[in-house]
Amino acid sequence: MYLAKNRLLVAFALALALLTLVGSGLVAAQQQPPPKVVVIDPGHGGSESGGAHYNAKTKQYDLLEKDVNLRVAQRLAARLQAAGYVAILTRNTDTQVNVAHLDLNGNKKIDVDDDLQARVDLANSNHAAIFVSLHHDSRSYDPTANFTTVYYCADRPFAAQSAQLAASLAAAFAAEWQQQGWAIPVQPISPDDVLKKPGGHLYLLGPKNWRVPRPSTMPGALAEPLFLTNEYASSLIRQPGFYDAEADAYFHGIVSYFNTVK
């Protein structure tokens, strides 16, 4: 009788301990912060081709920036999703983002400015933690130009975080280029006002302006990893694994940023 009662007490204690552990696990799971939302913006798209590489032999443009941007962005999104982030592309096909052709900035005409606003609106409506715009530079008047630059806006309340994001991306590009053996110098991160845009800033990153009246509400950066107009840099794109390598650099830069600011 005593043994039977003892066994019942032990069984009850074990069951209670198990329930406590399970309950603790459920509470811990409920207390886990939601995954970070990263909005990835493959620049240009549709009728907006962006920069391009001109093949002097075929006398044709054989690399369009909009296509290169999208291929890298798709690979980056897959890596982020696999790592537990929520990755949202502003576009996933060769199209503009403002597919409904709406007057999003209220100036009574529909143009590329509305497409810029559509990208920012998408990041804002999804409460993105960061906004990363993917581009590739071009300089037809100077085909010797060959470097990586990452821009951020210093004229925002979250300028310090944007600068950290830009720095993390730049460091990741430098590490990836070195690992690949690619001779692409990485410039120090740069505030976007050095570009002397009409509004003073890159419209995707800057404060309220006449082109984008609803500015982004989160830290952001815009990267130009290489020049399509540089023969050496553009030749790298044709190498097997280029898109994966560049996506890896973006991925490591983003993860490094979140590890730094958490």
Q: Tell the CATH topology of 37-261.
A: Aminopeptidase (3.40.630)
Long-range Cβ contacts of 179-184 (<8 Å, 24+ apart): 180/245, 182/236, 183/146, 183/232, 184/146, 184/147, 184/148, 184/225, 184/226, 184/233, 184/236
pLDDT score at 130: 98
pLDDT score at 57: 87
Q: What is the pLDDT of residues 4-30, one digit of tens each?
A: 444 544 444 445 444 444 454 544 446
Q: What pairing do the DSSP bridges indicate for beta strands 220-224 and 130-134?
A: parallel
Per-residue pLDDT of the chain (262 residues; tens, 9 = 90+): 444 444 544 444 445 444 444 454 544 446 778 899 999 999 999 999 999 999 988 889 999 999 999 999 999 999 999 999 999 999 999 999 999 999 999 999 999 999 999 999 999 999 999 999 999 999 999 999 999 999 999 999 999 999 999 999 999 999 999 999 999 999 999 999 999 998 899 999 999 999 999 999 999 999 999 999 999 999 999 999 999 999 999 999 999 999 999 7
User: In the predicted model, what is the mean pLDDT of the chain?
Assistant: 91
What whole-number distance in Å separates Cα of residue 222 and Cα of residue 236? 21
Chain centroid to Cα 131, Å, comes to: 6
Domain assignments of the chain as residue spans, ordered by start: 37-261
What whole-number distance in Å separates Cα of residue 12 and Cα of residue 3? 14
What whole-number distance in Å separates Cα of residue 136 and Cα of residue 66? 9
What whole-number distance in Å separates Cα of residue 234 and Cα of residue 52? 10
pTM, whole model, 2 decimals?
0.87
Q: What is the pLDDT of residues 204-241, one digit of tens each?
A: 999 999 999 999 999 999 999 999 999 999 999 999 99
